[in-house]
Amino acid sequence: MNVIDLHSHTLWSDGTLIPSEHIRRAIVKGYGVIAITDHADATNIELLCKEIVPFARSMNEKQNEITVLAGIELTHVLPEDIKELTLYARGKGIHLVVAHGETIVEPVRPGTNRAAILAEVDILAHPGLIAEEEVKLAAQKGVALEISYRKGNCLGNGRVVDLAKKYKAPLVINSDAHDIGDFLTPELWKAVGLGAGLSSEELSSVYEFSASLVKKALSGAPSR
């Protein structure tokens, strides 16, 4: 099993690696797919889309060791702006829109989780102490909730998994990598899911859902 990691950061935002090294290190760790999802708001979204979309296209055309998805992570934006920025990014060719959820350890505005789900982003990252009604809404909208490997952001994983099981909301496991030591291995990817409360069978379903997101992103089908 190759890792499918749909949330990571480079020097385009607050990561430490240039995109080419970021990708190379992911390959060595056993990745099959990586999404570069640097932090975006209204001030830099145009530049990020302009840079990441052709970069991902070029990488996918010139090598077959790993699939690279062009993504963004809408971060600390006003909840009422999430939908507009999501539509803008998709219109510029972004494969995957991630929203920075209400993680326990950062001062994310209340209402961000709900606004992101209503905007039908692809992934709500580290949603923290997400409300049951929001998980139910994510299930209805098909918005994936993230099980996070990142320190601090992972503190809500148990609640996210419990509620996702209850309401049948889709889940993904991501690294939220920012640095060299943040990349997952296939074994660590599995351990993160099992540690959050998934069974082996449920872990397989999470992997299959992640693969389906990748397939949809690469197909060019309209998002949502």
- Show me where the domains of the chain are located: 3-219
* Residue 179 pLDDT: 97
The residue among 6, 12, 31 whose CA lies nearest residue 124 is 6
Q: Which portions of the chain are predicted below pLDDT 70?
A: 221-224
> Judging by beta carbons within 10 Å of its beta carbon (0-12, 13-18, 19+), is residue 174 exposed, middle or buried?
buried
Q: Report which residue type is found at 203.
A: L
* Residue 223 pLDDT: 47
Beta bridge partners of 5: 34
Beta bridge partners of 124: 99, 145
Dihedral sign for Cα atoms in the order 7, 12, 14, 17: positive
| The token pair that represents 100 in the structure block | 């920075």
* Residue 220 pLDDT: 73
* Residue 18 pLDDT: 98
215/195 Cα distance (integer angstroms): 27
Would you mind telling me the total number of residues written for the chain in this entry? 224
H or E element, residue 212: helix 200-219
Whether domain 3-219 has CATH 3.30.9.10: no
- Count Cα neighbours of 61 within 13 Å in the Cβ-side half-sphere: 6
Cβ proximity of 19 and 36 under 8 Å: yes
- Residue carrying the six token digits 């291995």: 185
Phi, psi of 94 (to 5 degrees): -65, 130
Cβ proximity of 159 and 167 under 8 Å: no
H or E element, residue 140: helix 132-141
